[in-house]
A and B are shown apart, each in its own frame.
Chain A
Amino acid sequence: MADPISSPPRVLSAAAFLKLAASLGIVLLGCSLSWDSWPAAGALLAVTFAALAFAGFTLKALARRLALFLPVITLVAISIPLSQGFTASWMQLAGTVIIRGAVSFLAGLWLIRVLPFDSLLSTLYALRLPAVVVASLAMMHRYLFVLWEETSRLRIARKARCLGRQNRIAQWMAGIGMVGMLVIRSLDRGHRIHRAMLARGWDGHIRPWP
């Protein structure tokens, strides 16, 4: 019977810890700022952009990611006055949400760039994060790529059978069908992964390997 207590030593790498701490520091600092303290927020954003540039992020790559993120955080920011009413300070409130979100997002991007995901997991484990959380993050990261590859294959297969232009409604319908298919396939895959874990002696205890 495997011993659930015996887990590998939690060895902390100083460089990885500093990177994680710097990233968290930027997030905390960003979240302590409000719209009124925009000069400080601007300075923090400038520092973060500089760090991203040093990490090798091109402007194009950064713009692509921000183009995905900013509409989402803007919607979140606008939803606050929509739910609480448009008070005199609603713009400041929305601006604060956007600044905090943007700083956190950029800090996250920097961390992913400078610290390989595997090192990040080792660092989190060394910092006494529960093994089950570390294992869940590892599997989430692993299967995010698998899911993405599956999505790409479905999209290509759909395109290959789209002879001629489709109207917007048909595109939406096909997209909805694809999402449904992905959910079903993911459930099925989850079942197969569980079997594969059982086949290698998994008994419900997570035993991470540093």
Chain B
Amino acid sequence: MTTAVAIEVRRLTFAYSGGSNVLTDVSFSVSPGERIALLGPSGAGKSTLLLHLNALLPDPPPADFETDSAGVLIDGLPATAQNANPIRRRVGLLFQNPEDQLFGSTVGRDVAFGPLNLGLDAAEVQARVEQALNDVGLDEFADRDTVRLSLGERKRACLAGVLACQPGCLVLDEPFANLDPRGRRRLSDILTLFNGTLLLATHDLDAVRELADRILVLDDGRLCADGPTDTILQDKQLLTQHGLVA
């Protein structure tokens, strides 16, 4: 059973070591169960923002989480290295490139990786693997070598690995990139059925219409727009200005 997760990002500013700011003063909040699309041109800072939601980057300064100070909060918990475990139990992150995420020798082993790390017993791990593979339509793939999968199958196997941890929030980085229409349709159907909080970084506006209730537009590390999907997608000037339509 998934319990939807709340996200709050407060005045988040971040730069990689020796570089300029990738994120500048980004603030927004997401209610439990909301479905959000994160739009922005390449290099806007979308992936960096998503990594922050999983406490995978160094704590952004200042790492003082007194009321109203900067940072990322997941269900009220600061997303810092210290809280990494409870944060990662709540937020499941799907990476852009499935090769980075699919490291098991077989699909079943890979999907079991997360549940094993949760310290579940063998029977529960098995049940979660079967359920997750069923959810993504890969029931017969548990013993399949991960090398012998198509791109669409790899992406779905990666998603199964995340779903097996039963996160309350699913964060996806360009899940539809390079997928053919059938692969895109399958993935979209799976995401439609997810009942937790959903945050999706993508360039695919059709998928956004289908999956998201609200859109955040990020450009050059700054949050440029935040509003309902229909309103944002009808604003052609905004979309053109931020390189979201040609």
Contacts and interface: CB of A to CB of B under 8 A. Distances in A.
B109 A201 contact: no
Nearest to A203: B117
Contact of B104 (A8, A138, A198): A138
B139 interface: no
B99 A2 contact: no
B14 interface: no
Interface string A1-22: 1110010110000000000000
Nearest to B91: A199
A202 B117 contact: yes
A142 B113 CA distance: 15
B93 A118 contact: no
Contacts of A116: 145
Interface stretch (A49-57, A58-66, A156-164, A189-197): A189-197
A168 interface: no
Interface residues of B, number: 38
Contacts of A138: 103-105, 109
A128 B37 CA distance: 47
Contacts of B125: 8, 209
Contacts of A75: none
Interface of A: 1-3, 6, 8-9, 116-118, 121, 138-139, 141-143, 145-146, 189, 192-193, 195-203, 205, 207-209
Nearest 7 CB-CB pairs, A to B?
A201-B117, A2-B119, A200-B114, A207-B116, A209-B112, A192-B100, A196-B101
